[in-house]
Structures are given as C-alpha cells and as structure tokens.
Structure 1
C-alpha cells in the first residue's frame, strides 16, 4: 500500500561469509545525512511535520478522491509523496542505527517508539489506497490520460490497483495498519536472537558471521567443528525460531484467507509485479536442471577434495589448490572499482562516494546484524551499504553485489519516492551484474590455468548458491506455509520440511550430519520477506541473459543498461527487457541463464581431461 511507512527491511544476505584480520581501515556509516543524532531538533521537526501533514491530508482528501480532476489529483499525489519521503527518512535513520547494534536496548527502544509514532500518524492515510481501488475503471483511466505529469505516476497506482480484488473493508484495513507494529516485533525478536547467539569454536567465542566463515576454511577439521557448533546452537534455540515461523506463517495465512489470496505466494508476486506463471516457469526450469548443475558440480568438487562423500561443511570449502589468502579492504575496493569502470566510467563514479562519504559500514562488530544489504533510504538522500567484511574472496563479491544495488538505487532516485523502488525480481539485476563484471575482470586477468579453475569454480558455487539454493529455499517456504495451514508445526516438522529439499537440490555427493536439519533457523529471508528468495534466481537468470547480449553486441549496451536502472519501478519487466531483445515470459528464457552455468561446469570438466 502507498501508505505503508515502516522500518527499513533489508533482506540480509544469508550467504555472506567473512573471515580474516589486518584488513586496513574499514569504513563506518555516517548517518548524519539523514539526521545528526537521535536527539536532533531536525528529527523532532520532521516528526511533528509528519503528524500534521497526515492529519491535513486526510481532512483535505478523505471521501473526495473520486471528485478530483487531474490537476487536483496530481497535487494530492505530490503531497503524499512528500509524506512518504519524510516518514521514510525517519524510519531509515532509526532502522539503520538499530542494524548497527541490534542488542543495544536504547537503539531498539528508539526504533520501536518511532515506529509506533509513525504508524499512528499515518493511520489516517489508509483511506487513500482504499478509495483509489473503489474508483471505476473508466474514471481511473481517464484521470491519468488527462495529465502527462500525473500519467508518469500511473505504474505505481497500477500496482495498488492490482490489490483491488483482495482489499478488505475500510475498518479492517485501518485495523491491519495499526496491527503492523506487532508483526514487526517478531522480526525484531528474530534479529536480536540471531545477533545475540554465541558460538564457541576451538575455545574462541564468536558471532554467527565469524562462525559461518569457518565453513570456508581450508582445514576440514575447522569446518566440521564450526558446522557442529552451529548445529548445537541452532538446536538449542530452535524452539524460539519455530515459534517465530509458526506465528508469522499463521498471521500470513489469516491475512491471505481474509483477502482471498489464491496462494501464500500471491502477495509476493503482486509486490514484485511478476506473473505467477513466470515464477513457476523459473522454479520448474531450475529444479529440472538440478542434475545438470549442482549435482554435476558437487560430484566434481567431491573428487577435487578427495572425498568418498561430501558433508555439509564441504559445500563452501575452498579447493585444495586455492590459496588461503586474505583480501584487505583497499584491494577489494580496487578490484570492484576497476571492474565497474572497465564496464563504464559512469558506474565507478556513482560508486565512489560509498567509499569516501561514510555510505558503507564494513566491519564485523558485536550486535551488528549479520549478512549484507543495501538500503536506499529516501530519494533525496542516498543509499547505505552494510557488509560484514573480513577478507574472504567471496566477501569481495559481496561488496560488488551490494555496491551494484547502491548504484541502481542512486540511478533510480530520479524517479521520485513513489516510482524509484524496483520490484524485488529486478532489484537483484544490478547487484548480480556487478558480481558478473567483477568475476569477468578477475577471469580475464587470471595468471594461469589453476587460477582460472579456482575462479570458475568459485563463480559456479556462487551461482549455485544464488539459483539452486534459493529455489530450494523457495520450495521449503512453499511447503512450510502449506503445512502451517494444517496446524501448529513442531521444530521437528519444520526440520523435516527443510531436509526434504536439501538432498534433492544438492545431490547424491552429500551426506547430512545430525543437526543440519535446523539450519533453516538462521535464514533471515524467511522472516523478513516471505518468498523473497526466488528473486535471487530471477536476477541471476536475467543477468546471465543480459551478459550474453552484452558479449554478442556490446555497442550501445551501456546506455540501454543505465536506462533500465534509471527506470526504477516505473516499468514492467517486459518493457525493461524489450530493448535487449529479452522476454522473461518466454518459457525458454530461463534456459539461457542456466546454460551459462552449465557452460562453466563444462569448462571445469574439460580441465579434468
């Protein structure tokens, strides 16, 4: 809904790993571009303005939307956009401070108190989308046809109109708006629980980030010790995680049932502006390709590692010939920026301020949220990138990924608050493309066959994590929400659903240790944004197809690419991809992306001959 203003919900990248020391001067956020401090008079001024602006907006427009001409409707939209901007600025500041240290009681209280105030202030705006959806179709179309400036906003309103069949009564919609802060509390419980977990490995206490990093150590005994400690801690907290998932899945089931949603996934498809059949085609194409992708690659890796059977702690193990070196921050920055500038100097120019102006928070710190994200804040400020950087080669790719998001968000800001936000399926395009540019540059500069093999294997693993693993996650979520409709799920029930997708997706090269069945517990996507995960596979497949177009015909590609990013959420994926000759609704589209992964595996197999 257009009136929803809440804390930033970055979908934390659960695949991000970190490890190492002596990394150089790691940057921290400077949030003063939002507000100087939590006690700043500017913050109180904006909070007071928001309360008054929302009240006046409701007084001026409630019950009158259907009577406005195009000029008056445009003025109303612009007033609403300003409200979204101020509310978004407030919540971005509070949310980002919280993610810097989720165990800090003062930050948690500040966020919760601000969330309640913003929710209360914006409650009078709920009428906006409700009245919009009661407007007759011919009246709606003629209104936007009458004014070119207003017509620019139509894609945002079309997405609201897509919810028309699922809209409840005005009274119930107001009730659900007010109740939103309760659902957010379960997310905060998850975040605070995850951030507060302590793992003891080889006598050293560490956070979840550092513990997950141990799964990428060269020493297999260290990887096993980490996996078993992760399992021990997850198992010890599994009842809490099961309660969070049960409650949220039940809440979603109730909302979906009252709204008449045909499936648990439908709300995500609507917010992504993507057709259910397109997502199903993607899912089916990936599952059908499991034997040609993950099964085949992990059989190769099993041989490289000299194992009869792989364990889960071997999935992200480095190759035996891979050096266990640490990439310091300066080298990571140079690697990514060179890749970006090699594609187009404009890309590195947009990325530069992230490093020089406090737009990145890179280091691992106690209480900091795990994973990585790029949060766009509001269009009149700039994005912020969060990492947990400790120097693994994969962390360089995470930097390239999140910086891609940041570049996209900067470019899309020109669309304004209502149109800048990109549906999740397309939001992953620039991030995955940034990774691809970085990988291709490294591959082009490989010194020898062995380095090329290590790079190719690393990229294949990243693509499997992005495509195969995320579609397996999606299948797990589908099963979880379907099973919850039949009643409360015990931790063992959820464990069984998790394991039902693991062997299928990873293949016969693996055995699964006792305790791995609880590893669903730490994946933040399931809690923060149900069914988000297919967006990663969507983005990877789309980028692979885009990159193939770039290789085949590079002339003019950069300008078309920048135009696509600048469009933000103003166009449907079909219109955005048309200049490249691509169409995601074509059933054969996903084979293009999957064939690139297969080609890399072909090359790795050829190296064995």
Structure 2
C-alpha cells in the first residue's frame, strides 16, 4: 500500500508545459472556435433540427471545457502561491479572457431563452437527453430576463452599483483592527485571529473577543447599515420590481433550482427543532461547569484532561479511504485516484491560500483538492469533506461540463456524508473521553451549519420586509435579537450587544439567502446517512446514482426517484432525529 506524504499537487493534467507560447496557442484556439460559433448567429432558427441543435450545444460544451481547464490551471496556480506576481498576472489575463468568451456566446443563450417559441422549445428539450433540465431551467430564467439592452445596462451599472457596495463593505470591514486584552496584555489583531479567541478555554477571553468585534461594527454602524439597506433595496428593486419575482427569497430559490415550498418546509422544520440544540446547550453548560451558557460561550471547548490527538498525514488519508471502502469500494477507489494522481496540495507554506477547497475544472479531469494539514482531528475531517466533493464530481464525470455540477443545495451532500462515514469509523476506535470530545464538536458543527444557518435565513426574510418599509439600523438589530432569543429559548443568555451581529455576517451582503443551502445540504446528508444505517451496504448504489446525476435533474425530481420526498417535513425531520440521537448519546457518555 502506498505511503502518502505531505506535498504539492501536480497540475500537468491541466497544462503540460506552462510557457507563454503554450498559453498564447491555447487561447488563440479557443478564440477561433468562439469566432466560428459566432457565425451561426444570423442563421439561428427555432425550427432547427434536434440533431443540429445538439451539435451546437456540443460546440458550446467544447469551448466552455477548454476555457474552464485553462481557467482552472490559472486559479490553482494562484492558490498555491498568492504572492507570486507571475501567477497573479496569469489569473488576471485568463479571467479577462474567460469573461470575453462568455460574452461572445451570450447571443445563443438569449436566443434560446427569448426567441424560441414554446412548441419548438418543448420539441428540442424532449430530444436533448442529459441537457433537458439545463435547457428547461434556462427557459424558466427567461421568464425573469429583460431585453438584451436592459440586461447590458444592469450588468454595466452593477459594477459601480451593488457590486461596488459589496466591495466597499469588504474594504471597510477588512480594514478593521481589533484591540483585545488577553491575560492582562493588550493585543492587536485582525478578524481571522480574533475569531480563534471565541474558542478560547477562558470565558473572559471569549467575552473580550466578541466585545472587541461588536464595538468596531458599532462605531461604523451608520455606514455599514446604510450599505446593507441599499444592497437589500437593490435586490428587491431589480428582482421584484423589474424582473417580476414574487418575493426576495424566490430570487435565490429559482437560482438554486428548488421550489419555494421546499425551502419553506425546510425552514419550518428547522425552526420547530430548535429545542434539540437548546437541550444540547443546557448540557454543554453543565460540562463547562456553568449554570447557563452566555452567547459568548457557545463555541467554548470542553474541559478535557486528555491531550488532543495528532494524526500523521498517511494515517489520515488511510482513515478516509477505509471509511469510504466500508460503505462503497467504488467510492473509495474514486478517492484513492485523487491521491494517486498527486492532485492534493496538503503542505503548509508561505503564500499558499488558507482554508480548503475542491476544484473540478473539467469532468474529464480528476478533481484537485487543497488542504492545509496540521495533524489535528479537524484536519482529518476537512480532508474527508473535500474528498467527498471530489467523489461527487467523479461520480458525475460522464456528464457534460454544462450539466455536471449539482445545484448549490445538493453540493454539500457528498462532502458531509463522507465526514459522517469517517466519524462512524473513528468513533469505534477512540477512548470514551475522546469520543465525548468528538461528539461534542460534531454537535457544535451541526448547530453551526444547520441551526444557525436556517435562523440566519429566517432573519433575512424579516429584514428584507422591514427594509422595504423603511427602517433604522437599531430596528434591524432588534429583529436580529428576537431571532436569537427564539433560537436559543432559555438555554443561552443573549446579551444586547449581539443585536448588531447581523452586520458582521458577510453572506448577508455578498449573497442574500445563500445560507439555507448549508442547512439543506447537511440535513440531506444526514437523512441519506439514516437510510444507510437502516439499509446497510445495499444503499450504496442508490447514493451513487444521486451523485452521478450532477446537475441533470431538479433536486425534488432526483430525490423522488430514489424514494425521498424533500417537499415533505418528514424527510427533513429524519436528519434532526439523527442529531437528537447524538445529543442523547452524549448525555449517556457524560
């Protein structure tokens, strides 16, 4: 069995010989293909034969694929060293080129959305095979599209309008410097460093970190509050006023290709189950030797006499592969391939981008995974998470690049499921004390990705209504405070300063209503995991089939074919039943 060593990835599969001349040649070829495709503009006709129409889609696929591979290379090169001038300038050049190619193909998109009558559209969709859902979805979006000149005006004004507001929010808040007293010493830090303090073992440090964060946002609430309200009004004016969406959240639902009713059901079930997390927080208070948690203490670590276990990289990779093999040897082989091809960048070094991600520039190429591995147990789970994304992509690798990506709410399915398999394997081998720590961290994580994210979305629904009827920053903060009190009930003491927390959440500014996708993806993975627990290995083929669909089917339809109805509360409740079992198990261990 091969030994896995920390190291850098190998990008040869994307670009073999990355010289200036090679890039010039590749870009020139893509450009000439795009020019050739543009020539069909005048002869486009709704009565086009289905064979010819499919050939046109294949041409777009070919241009998109080649463009994506070269774009993927530039982006991964930049990630491995963000300080390299050469990588930065290549990324800028390729991004600009990609956007130019996209604009050149735009006419076909608009023709399909706007100029093909319903009868011909139905005929072409019927014979389009794997492209059917992609084409149907584009027609659905057409209902909310404006004319080409209007779309161009919006695109142009967005750069200096709403995009500029988001950039401004980022510029202002990223420049904040926080002064916080730790162990009697004043320290100056950025947000990233400050965030680590909310997980400190010391209650005073946790409180000081939050207070420092909020005091900065409080100083500037007039400006950031104004920015947020204008982002919300822009979302409403364009989405509802001009495009005709029925509500602010519908704009996001339609771009996620899920029905309003599905999202509504999901959020209702999340709201109803907030008691599960409340019980856990009461339990956590006891473990920390407190009568009641304050909101400052939510992410406090457990008091533990055991030293945190360190995992060697080789051992970590093997744990991930073995936990997958127990469920499905096919998926374990997919994952093994990512390591064999040296598509993982795991070593920490200066200039490398922080965090972790999985990137699939083309379905025909084995995905690339970036992690910053330090040997902590959370790094092993991060590895399992990103490898889960890779498995999802490989499962759908026979699909066209136009339809291989699952829609956003389904995108976290395989990553979360892989973490569950790893947890299942590890919990059999660790001591009772380690299991308690792992279980507690896991429930913390469920709260952060399901409970918190769904209540974020419930807050946004209210805030968007409130801002439409003109309001003040303080009134928005009151609404947010109510949301927190409803979420925690009597289990956590929430102080007034948390009212302004909404202004610190970048997602609200960058992508309204994005957050429910986390709750969706995690609960979906938990429900699938529950099925695996009932059905055993026989569930693996059903699971692989769900992954292999990529983006070729609407989430409701895809899951219904596997006997799951995500429009019904019962489905989402399965995920919460699992969390409830975990909370009970922790209670027994204590």
8 Å contact 2:8–2:345 — kept in the other structure? Answer: yes
Q: Give TM-score scaled by structure 2 length.
A: 0.86
Residue 485 in structure 1 maps to residue 465 in structure 2:
no
Q: 1:129 aligns with which of 91, 106, 109?
A: 109
Residue 302 in structure 1 maps to residue 285 in structure 2:
yes
CA deviation string 1:527-574 (max 9, x = no partner): 444322212211222222212221211243212211221111112323
Within a 5 Å distance, the mapping from 1:304-453 to structure 2 comes to 304-321=287-304, 323-325=306-308, 327-328=310-311, 330=313, 331-355=315-339, 357=341, 359-362=343-346, 371-448=355-432, 450-453=433-436
Change (3 A) 1:239 1:62: farther
Change (3 A) 1:39 1:250: farther
8 Å contact 1:115–1:181 — kept in the other structure? Answer: no
C-alpha RMSD of the superposition: 3.5
Number of the residue aligned with 1:138 = 119
Residue 170 in structure 1 maps to residue 148 in structure 2:
yes
CA distance in 1, matches of 2:77, 2:166: 16
CA distance in 2, matches of 1:99, 1:239: 36
- The 3-state SS of whatever aligns with 1:286 is helix
Larger radius of gyration between Structure 1 and Structure 2: 2
Deviation at 1:316, TM superposition (A): 1.8
Deviation at 1:595, TM superposition (A): 1.3
Deviation at 1:517, TM superposition (A): 4.4
Number of the residue aligned with 1:466 = 449
Residue 71 in structure 1 maps to residue 30 in structure 2:
no
Deviation at 1:282, TM superposition (A): 0.6
Number of the residue aligned with 1:6 = none
- The 3-state SS of whatever aligns with 2:292 is coil
Number of the residue aligned with 1:588 = 570
CA deviation string 1:340-371 (max 9, x = no partner): 22222332322235445554445667776654
Change (3 A) 1:268 1:64: same
CA distance in 2, matches of 1:388, 1:131: 45
8 Å contact 1:252–1:264 — kept in the other structure? Answer: yes
- The 3-state SS of whatever aligns with 2:369 is strand
CA distance in 2, matches of 1:574, 1:525: 25
Number of the residue aligned with 2:459 = 476
CA deviation string 1:184-236 (max 9, x = no partner): 66666666777776666646666644442333343444434444444455556
Deviation at 1:507, TM superposition (A): 3.4
Q: 1:265 aligns with which of 249, 255, 261?
A: 249
Change (3 A) 1:419 1:539: same
Deviation at 1:259, TM superposition (A): 0.9
Deviation at 1:469, TM superposition (A): 0.9
8 Å contact 1:404–1:430 — kept in the other structure? Answer: yes
CA deviation string 1:32-55 (max 9, x = no partner): 544479863333334333443333
Deviation at 1:84, TM superposition (A): 1.8
8 Å contact 1:401–1:435 — kept in the other structure? Answer: yes
8 Å contact 2:262–2:566 — kept in the other structure? Answer: yes
- The 3-state SS of whatever aligns with 1:265 is helix
CA distance in 2, matches of 1:216, 1:246: 31
- The 3-state SS of whatever aligns with 2:358 is strand
CA distance in 1, matches of 2:554, 2:211: 45
Within a 5 Å distance, the mapping from 1:560-575 to structure 2 comes to 560-575=542-557
Q: Which of the pair has the greater relative contact order for Cα pairs under 8 Å at 6+ separation?
A: 1
Number of the residue aligned with 1:48 = 28
Number of the residue aligned with 1:288 = 272
Deviation at 1:329, TM superposition (A): 5.1
8 Å contact 1:119–1:178 — kept in the other structure? Answer: no
CA deviation string 1:141-178 (max 9, x = no partner): 22344x4xx32211111111111321211222344455
Q: 1:159 aligns with which of 133, 137, 142?
A: 137
- Higher mean alpha-carbon deviation, 346-355 vs 511-520, is at 511-520
Within a 5 Å distance, the mapping from 1:7-26 to structure 2 comes to 26=6
Residue 547 in structure 1 maps to residue 529 in structure 2:
yes
8 Å contact 2:145–2:243 — kept in the other structure? Answer: yes
Deviation at 1:524, TM superposition (A): 4.4
Q: 1:457 aligns with which of 440, 447, 471?
A: 440
Deviation at 1:269, TM superposition (A): 1.4
- The 3-state SS of whatever aligns with 1:76 is helix
Number of the residue aligned with 1:16 = none
Number of the residue aligned with 2:487 = 505
Deviation at 1:526, TM superposition (A): 3.4
- Higher mean alpha-carbon deviation, 427-436 vs 53-62, is at 53-62
Number of the residue aligned with 1:17 = none
CA distance in 1, matches of 2:390, 2:501: 30
Deviation at 1:276, TM superposition (A): 0.6
Q: 2:201 aligns with which of 218, 228, 236?
A: 218
Q: Give TM-score scaled by structure 1 length.
A: 0.83
8 Å contact 1:51–1:122 — kept in the other structure? Answer: no
CA distance in 2, matches of 1:414, 1:589: 29
CA distance in 2, matches of 1:514, 1:101: 42
Change (3 A) 1:77 1:39: same
8 Å contact 2:236–2:248 — kept in the other structure? Answer: yes
CA deviation string 1:258-307 (max 9, x = no partner): 1111112223212222111011001011111112x111110111111111
